[in-house]
A and B are shown apart, each in its own frame.
Chain A
Amino acid sequence: MIELVRVSQKYTYKEVLKDVTFTAEKGQITCLLGLNGAGKSTILKTIMGLTPIHGGSIRIDGEEINQNTYERVSYIPDHLAIPASMKLSDALRFMEDFYSCWNKDRANELMRFFDLDLDERAGRLSKGTAAKFNLVLGLAQDSDYVIMDEPFAGIDLFNRERIAEVFSSELVGNRGVLLTTHEVKEVEYLIDKAVLLRDGVVARSFECEQVRSEESKSVVDVMKEVLLT
């Protein structure tokens, strides 16, 4: 379980996050929803220790962030963070070099699934292909959690479907997934739980099926209700 308790962050006196509290369970898909600038990516970065927090705590299965966190939580940032000159095969070897949780077979399977060319250089990939390769790097780790920042941003329709397929497939399996997006439609039926953020504050967090059955509202309905009023 990824657990954030009253996490706050300031950036030169401006509060970016304020008392953010939510959990993302293993075996569930949790989605951070919010408008641009609501602090979605920042939350993911705080979980990965990529930006400091100024209050509250973040625990992963009860442990504070340490170097082992990165073996248990794989992070898929919103861009492909691999030097442009690197070949994809080199990038895979680089990952294998550093991550003891790297699953080579799964990496190969994913490369086939997304139909990626090992000899291509990272800098020459199209946006959609780069996003797919980015998923390969994150999902080929035998991690307990996968964190994805805007996996659909700027991706064409065909590739979006291909990426969406991943969530319900064995490639994600029983891991916990935490993702951010501002395009709810892609994930509406995929997510277990939604956490709505507005200006760095958790406006509401809910189980999607529960809202549908108890309030007969769609995720989008709740979002509109919460964020636009």
Chain B
Amino acid sequence: MNRYLKLVHLEVHRFRYALFSLMFLTAAIQITGLVHTTQVRVKGWREAARLGEHSTRNFSFADVIGDLQFLFAIPILISIVVLGLYVFLIWYRDWIGRDKFAYRLFTLPTVRRNVYMAKATAIFVFVFAMVSFQLLMLLLERQLFNWMVPSEYRMSSLFAEAVASNLVFVRFLLPLDGIQFVVYYGIGILAVFVLFTAVLLERSYRLPGIVYAILYVAVCGAAIGGAVYLNLYNYFYPREITAIRFCIYLMVMGFTLTLGFRLVSKKITV
């Protein structure tokens, strides 16, 4: 196995307990919420049936997920915050602490960009692992829902419907459109690289580096944001605008990676 993959594993390994904790937290909050809401619903329907009222419509798993917008968003937001902080900590933890692992990491016999890419890859693995875990949880939760709700009150729903009924899922985490997923997460990946390079600016130039880093993030942020909200439909065809956006992203990506690799291999101070 090559050293890049070994480094990825190393980084994943170092974060494993935090990752599992986030997963556990997500599972705990969501299952608790789902069980409670489903119980309330079933109780209401039973009551209505006892009084001879007929409800207009049975309820589905998607309905319950739709009821749980806020609760489902909490663990996701916590995960986003934790992973967002870890984008920085994945570097700084190698400088702080008794072990100052950077001394070892940067003297490993491999090109330094592998260290950079491995840390980035590890972050992406964490993000996608959390998203995948959320998908698994939804499957499990649907099963749980089916067990809890008697079939006479239950309406079937598509898996995608359940995803679509939670705004956090459909707007950010799991857009139903595959292209949208690729674009969203592509921009996310780009953002991680920009932040990494900003961290390396600080690590290379210290105090003045903070200023460079802030400027760099501002410029890249403006370019990426500008590309997202690029409104040139008065002149360009939609596909050309897509191409322009893509070029801007590629340029930011190219520049960020080039600068990042250069900093990590030539400028960084341990």
Residue numbers of A with Cβ under 8 A of B are: 12, 45, 48-52, 67-71, 75, 77, 79-84, 94, 97-101, 122-123
Q: A12-B207, A52-B266 are contacts. A98–B101 as well, Cβ < 8 Å? A: no
Q: Which residue of A lies closest to B103 (CB)?
A: A81
Instruction: Decide if B104 is an interface residue (CB 8 Å cutoff).
Output: yes
Bound-state Cα–Cα, A82 to B100, Å: 8
Q: Out of A52, A75, A82, A97, name the residue touching B107 (CB < 8 Å).
A: A75
Taking a contact as CB atoms under 8 Å apart, the answer to whether B109 and A71 are in contact is yes
Taking a contact as CB atoms under 8 Å apart, the answer to whether B207 and A99 are in contact is no
B14: A residues at CB distance < 8 A: 83
Taking a contact as CB atoms under 8 Å apart, the answer to whether A84 and B99 are in contact is yes
Taking a contact as CB atoms under 8 Å apart, the answer to whether B110 and A83 are in contact is no
B10: A residues at CB distance < 8 A: 94
Taking a contact as CB atoms under 8 Å apart, the answer to whether A70 and B269 are in contact is no
Taking a contact as CB atoms under 8 Å apart, the answer to whether A12 and B6 are in contact is no
Q: Out of A50, A67, A97, A123, name the residue touching B103 (CB < 8 Å).
A: A50
Bound-state Cα–Cα, A100 to B109, Å: 9
Bound-state Cα–Cα, A94 to B104, Å: 11
Taking a contact as CB atoms under 8 Å apart, the answer to whether A83 and B107 are in contact is no
A82: B residues at CB distance < 8 A: 99, 101, 104
Instruction: Decide if B171 is an interface residue (CB 8 Å cutoff).
Output: no
Which of the four size classes fits the interface of chain B?
20 to 34
Taking a contact as CB atoms under 8 Å apart, the answer to whether B107 and A48 are in contact is yes
From B14, B103, B112, B267, name the one whose CB has the most chain A CB atoms within 10 angstroms: B103
Taking a contact as CB atoms under 8 Å apart, the answer to whether B109 and A68 are in contact is yes
Bound-state Cα–Cα, A50 to B100, Å: 12
Bound-state Cα–Cα, A49 to B207, Å: 21
Residue numbers of B with Cβ under 8 A of A are: 3, 6, 10, 14, 97-104, 106-112, 204, 206-208, 265-270
Bound-state Cα–Cα, A107 to B265, Å: 29
Taking a contact as CB atoms under 8 Å apart, the answer to whether B267 and A49 are in contact is no
Taking a contact as CB atoms under 8 Å apart, the answer to whether A52 and B267 are in contact is yes
Q: Which residue of A lies closest to B17 (CB)?
A: A85
Could you list 9 A-B pairs, sorted by A, with CB under 8 Å?
A48-B106, A50-B269, A50-B270, A51-B270, A70-B109, A75-B103, A77-B100, A83-B14, A83-B99
Q: Out of B6, B99, B109, B266, name the residue touching A81 (CB < 8 Å).
A: B99
Q: A50-B270, A52-B267, A97-B6 are contacts. A67–B109 as well, Cβ < 8 Å? A: yes
A68: B residues at CB distance < 8 A: 109
Q: Which residue of B lies closest to A101 (CB)?
A: B109
Taking a contact as CB atoms under 8 Å apart, the answer to whether B98 and A52 are in contact is no
Bound-state Cα–Cα, A73 to B244, Å: 47
B97: A residues at CB distance < 8 A: 84
Task: List 10 extra interface pairs beyond A12-B208, A69-B109, A99-B108, CB under 8 A.
Answer: A45-B270, A49-B265, A50-B103, A50-B269, A50-B270, A67-B109, A75-B107, A77-B100, A79-B99, A98-B109
Q: A79-B99, A81-B103, A123-B98 are contacts. A51–B111 as well, Cβ < 8 Å? A: no
From B10, B107, B111, B207, name the one whose CB has the most chain A CB atoms within 10 angstroms: B107
Q: A12-B206, A50-B269 are contacts. A81–B108 as well, Cβ < 8 Å? A: no
Q: A12-B206, A52-B266 are contacts. A81–B111 as well, Cβ < 8 Å? A: no
